């Protein structure tokens, strides 16, 4: 087992990325139930790609290469970008559809626009930043592949701390507001009539999801971050008929996917982000097969 | 519970010269509508699509605020009534979140759960209220079923149970018989009678389905942007209906002349004030 070797013979070097991957995927497990049920999966795509625009901008400004402080500033920039993108998409979608609370009529178009524009902007800014760094004799920014698909081996204790804090905060908020949020989530119109502040709760969920996705971009990359906010719940919804059961399964699938993905990446020498997504995808496939067998 | 608010046997709903215009819309959705609903009374509001029925319900529920005039529920502003959960709003089935993995009990308890914040749990008292409400609408044995698997009629019962459990004193039903078959219509009539006997809620039903209105209501208002008629169901003469629904028919077939005589059996005088509401069912579909 190369996994055991990696973890026991290299001090803490490999423990941080493994912990970060586990915490980030668990964060996905916690939030994905709300994301999938509220059909926000595509918003996740929008947010993570908008974060790429943020990466380009930050790199051009000379932020976030090398030092730990730079990393933190970069993360803050990305959170601002991600939350801004989520709320922007929400606003665009609503202004287009002009329907009641919870209606997401024009959301796909809005996300498509935000996603494409910020992705293009990110690429242009990234190239500019790389060129300037070379011309100025500064260290080149991290490879574009590691930005797009995640570079978990660059992850350190600070990332673990941030992922853990986001997990605790996200789970706490979701648990604390589970009553009104559940009502607002499944029946926004009725919930509003019963005095629930639906819009505020929806924005809260959007902000939470945006922050979580940006945190996940560090480990899983721009392209794959949103996958961990979809696959655990999509799998769990095939395995249980109860919200509590779905929640437990979602967490279990997330943990399993994270561990399976990390082992896969160590054994096969693959990147960690794609490995985790592949493991989660396999769990989803297994759940569908299990469902089909049980039904037929 | 809600102190200071009379909760014994329902309360009064008042629309006083209410007008409403949606932002950006040229035409008024409602013009100078006045309605009074006595405590415990069942009022039906019938009218064509686009006639302002849903707008009226939204004003009652407090989601919209009138441009002119005044709405009051149990002596409160609708916004206050909403926070106090005095109005039990029953949405159309199509607008509910049926794909969520929650049981009927959980769906019924949603307003109670929404009233709790922080880390408290619903106790035995909450379970008892849900049990009682499920009993009132007659679906005690369906509590553990997934809400999305209920038929239209049973789903309606669950939604009414929710309003009862939440302690509302006014029940607002939006198109309650959409997706309910003829047999379901009869059961809806029975349900309305049972609600009257056991809970005594004030009920406002909005529908384009005359049978639903006739089955459950003491009085009927016809709404096509303004209030056309406002009296007992027996006053719904073919002439009134033809007038009210003219726009609806024209929308489908173009301008037509409506022959009132074809629906003349609607005016059967045997369907008078003194009949129990359940007996009124079937007028118009004979």
CA nearest B36: which of B53, B14, B19, B17? B14
Query: HSE of A84 in the Cβ direction (CA atoms, 13 Å)?
Result: 13
Q: Is the pLDDT of residue B187 over 60?
A: yes
Per-residue confidence (pLDDT) for residue B276, from 0 to 100: 36
pTM comes to: 0.76
Has residue B2 got a pLDDT over 60? no
Task: Please give the torsion angle defined by the CA atoms of residues A59, A147, A211 and A255, in that order, rounded to the nearest 10 degrees.
Answer: -150
The verdict on a CB contact (< 8 Å) between B117 and A179 is: yes
Q: What is the pLDDT of residue B4?
A: 37
For the cut 80, the answer to whether the pLDDT of residue B229 exceeds it is: no
Closest chain B residue to A183 measured between Cα atoms? B110
Averages of pLDDT over each 10 residues, chain A, 296 residues: 78 81 92 86 82 82 66 82 86 61 60 84 88 79 72 76 91 87 84 87 89 84 84 93 90 94 88 88 95 85
Whole-angstrom distance, CA of residue A188 vs CA of residue B3: 27
Interior angle at CA B29, CA B180 and CA B90, nearest 5: 30
* Residue A94: predicted pLDDT: 74
Q: What sign results for the dihedral spanned by CA atoms B236, B241, B243, B248?
A: positive
Question: Which residues in chain B are closer than 8 Å to A243, comparing Cβ atoms?
Answer: 100-102, 106
Confidence of residue B260 (pLDDT cuts 50, 70, 90): very low
Q: Between chain A and chain B, how many beta carbons pairs sit less than 8 Å apart?
A: 90
Q: Which one is predicted more confidently, B9 or A67?
A: A67
DSSP A138: P
DSSP A215-272: HHHHHHHHHHGGGGGTHHHHHHTTT-SSHHHHHHHHHHHHHHHHHHHHHHHHHH---H
Strand-pair category, B68-73 with B42-46: unpaired
Q: Which of A97, A100, A189, A193 would you mutate first to test chain B, the one with the most B CBs within 10 A?
A: A193
Say what the pLDDT of residue B224 is. Answer: 80
The alpha helices in A61-140, defined as continuous H runs, are 68-97, 107-135
- Quick one: DSSP state of residue A201? H
Mean model confidence pLDDT for chain B:
75
pLDDT (0 to 100) of residue B237:
63
The shortest C-alpha distance from B48 to chain A (Å) reads: 21
Tell me the nearest-neighbour CA distance from A97 into chain B, angstroms: 14
Q: Do A180 and B117 touch (CB under 8 A)?
A: yes
Q: Which residues of B touch A235 (CB under 8 A)?
A: none
- pLDDT at residue B37 tops 80: yes
Locate the chain B residue with the closest alpha carbon to A247: B101
pLDDT at A7: 78
A148 to chain B, minimum CA–CA distance in Å?
Answer: 33
Three-state SS string over chain B comes to CCCCCCCCCCCCEEEEEEEECCCCCCCCCEEEEEEEECCCCEEEEECCCCCCHHHHHHHHHCCCCCCEEEEEECCECHHHHHHCCCEEEECCHHHCCCCCCCEHHHHHHHHHHHHCCCCCCCCHHHHHHHHHHHHHHCCHHHCCCEHHHCCHHHHHHHHHHHHHHCCCCEEEEECCCCCCCHHHHHHHHHHHHHHHHHCCCEEEEEECCHHHHHHHCCEEEEEECEEEEEECHHHCCHHHHHHHHHHHHHHHHCCCCCCHHHHHHHHCCCCCCCCCHHHHCCCCCC
Closest B-chain CA to A36: B100
On whether the CB atoms of residues A27 and A250 are closer than 8 A, the answer is no
| Residue contact A195–B83, C-beta within 8 A | yes
With a cut of 90, say whether residue B76 has pLDDT above it. no
Longest dimension (CA), chain B: 63
pLDDT band at B268 (very low <50, low <70, confident <90, very high): very low
Measure CB to CB from residue A192 to each of B63, B88, B146 and give the nearest one. Answer: B63
């Amino acid at each position: 087992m190369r996994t055991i070797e990696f973890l026991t013979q290299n001090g803490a070097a490999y423990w941080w990325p493994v912990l970060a991957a586990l915490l980030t995927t668990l964060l996905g497990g916690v939030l994905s139930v709300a994301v999938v049920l509220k059909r926000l999966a595509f918003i996740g795509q929008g947010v993570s790609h908008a974060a790429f625009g943020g990466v380009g901008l930050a790199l051009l400004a000379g932020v976030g290469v090398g030092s730990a402080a730079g990393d933190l500033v970069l993360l803050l920039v990305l959170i601002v970008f991600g939350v801004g993108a989520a709320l922007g998409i929400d606003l665009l979608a609503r202004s287009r559809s002009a329907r009641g609370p919870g209606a997401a009529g024009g959301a796909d178009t809005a996300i498509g626009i935000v996603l494409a524009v910020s992705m293009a902007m990110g690429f242009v800014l990234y190239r500019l930043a790389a060129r300037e760094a070379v011309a100025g004799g500064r260290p080149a920014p991290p490879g574009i592949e590691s930005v797009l698909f995640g570079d978990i081996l660059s992850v350190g204790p600070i990332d673990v701390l941030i992922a853990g804090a986001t997990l605790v905060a996200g789970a706490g908020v979701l648990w604390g507001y589970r009553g009104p949020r559940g009502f607002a989530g499944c029946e926004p119109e009725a919930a509003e009539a019963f005095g629930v502040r639906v819009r505020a709760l929806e924005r809260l969920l959007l902000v939470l999801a945006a922050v979580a996705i940006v945190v996940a971009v560090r480990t899983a990359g721009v392209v794959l971050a949103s996958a961990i906010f979809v696959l655990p719940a999509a799998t769990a919804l095939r395995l249980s008929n109860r919200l509590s059961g779905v929640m437990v399964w979602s967490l279990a699938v997330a943990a399993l996917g994270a561990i399976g993905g990390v082992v896969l990446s160590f054994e096969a020498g693959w990147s960690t982000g794609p490995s985790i997504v592949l493991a989660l995808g396999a769990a989803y496939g297994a759940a569908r097969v299990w469902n089909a067998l049980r039904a037929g | 519970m809600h102190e200071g608010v009379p909760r014994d046997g329902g309360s009064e709903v008042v629309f006083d010269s209410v007008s409403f215009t949606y932002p950006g819309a040229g035409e008024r959705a409602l013009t100078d509508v006045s309605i009074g609903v006595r405590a415990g009374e069942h009022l039906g509001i019938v009218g064509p699509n686009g006639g302002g029925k849903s707008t009226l319900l939204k004003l009652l529920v407090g989601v919209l605020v009138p441009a002119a005039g005044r709405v009051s529920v149990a002596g409160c502003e609708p916004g206050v009534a909403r926070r106090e959960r005095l109005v039990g709003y029953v949405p159309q089935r199509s607008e509910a979140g049926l794909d969520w993995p929650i049981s009927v009990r959980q769906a019924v308890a949603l307003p109670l759960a929404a009233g709790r914040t922080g880390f408290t749990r619903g106790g035995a008292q909450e379970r008892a209220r849900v049990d009682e409400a499920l009993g009132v609408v007659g679906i005690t044995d369906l509590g553990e079923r997934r809400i999305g698997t209920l038929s239209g009629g049973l789903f309606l019962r669950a939604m009414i149970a929710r309003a009862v459990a939440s302690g509302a004193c006014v029940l607002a039903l939006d198109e309650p018989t959409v997706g309910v078959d003829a047999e379901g219509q009869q059961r809806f009539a029975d349900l309305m009678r049972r609600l009257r006997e056991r809970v005594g809620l004030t009920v406002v039903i909005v529908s384009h389905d005359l049978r639903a209105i006739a089955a459950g209501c003491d009085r009927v208002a016809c709404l096509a942007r303004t209030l056309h008629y406002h009296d007992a169901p027996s006053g719904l003469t073919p002439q009134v209906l033809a007038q009210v629904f003219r726009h609806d028919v024209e929308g489908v077939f173009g301008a037509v002349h409506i022959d009132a005589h074809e629906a003349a059996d609607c005016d059967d005088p045997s369907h008078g004030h003194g009949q129990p509401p359940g007996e009124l069912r079937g007028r118009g579909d004979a």
